[in-house]
Amino acid sequence: MDVILNGLTLAYIGDAYYELSVRTHLIQNKITNVNDLHKKAIKFTAGTAQSLIIIKLMEENLLSTDEIETFKRGRNSSGPGRKNIDAKTYHYATGFEALIGFLYLHDKNRADELIRLAIIFIEKGDFNGKDS
């Protein structure tokens, strides 16, 4: 894609692709009840979870310099936040979504790799003593 997209537009597409990937993962794991799917998906897609994921990816040095810059682009364009989540968590979650959106458009294999890691982190609750 030759068009340069702003951070929020990248987050918009990244949110959709990440959500679809999580839902696909849950269905592949034989979860078919819609209420169960929704409850389990929230553990992966809530802003708190996305914020913890991006922090973990950076702490583990799993992102390139360009990927960190893309995250920051999304984080910095995320606006005032939402009522149900603190501003820093919201900004980090938006940055994570922007990174996934950018990678979805430019390197889908890498987007899938980071999503697989995110799913593993959430399933293990692997956040340096923090529980998702």
**Residue 114 covered by a domain:** yes
**Residue 83 covered by a domain:** yes
What is the total count of domains within the chain?
Answer: 1
Output the pLDDT for position 79: 73
What CATH code is carried by the domain that includes residue 17?
1.10.1520.10
**Residue 1 covered by a domain:** no
Q: What is the domain range of residue 34?
A: 8-124
**Residue 75 covered by a domain:** yes
Q: Are 21 and 112 in contact (CB under 8 A)?
A: yes
How far is residue 92's CA from residue 77's CA, in Å, rounded to a whole number? 11
Q: Are 29 and 126 in contact (CB under 8 A)?
A: no
**Residue 105 covered by a domain:** yes
pTM of the model: 0.90
**Residue 129 covered by a domain:** no
**Residue 127 backbone phi and psi in degrees, to 5:** -130, 55
**Tens place of pLDDT per residue across the chain (132 aa):** 556 789 999 999 999 999 999 999 999 999 989 999 999 999 999 999 999 999 999 999 999 999 999 999 999 987 776 767 898 999 999 999 999 999 999 999 999 999 999 999 999 987 654 444
**Residue 101 backbone phi and psi in degrees, to 5:** -65, -45
Catalytic residues: 15
Which residue stretches of 29-127 are H helix?
A: 34-45, 47-59, 65-76, 87-106, 108-124
**Residue 3 covered by a domain:** no
**Residue 132 covered by a domain:** no
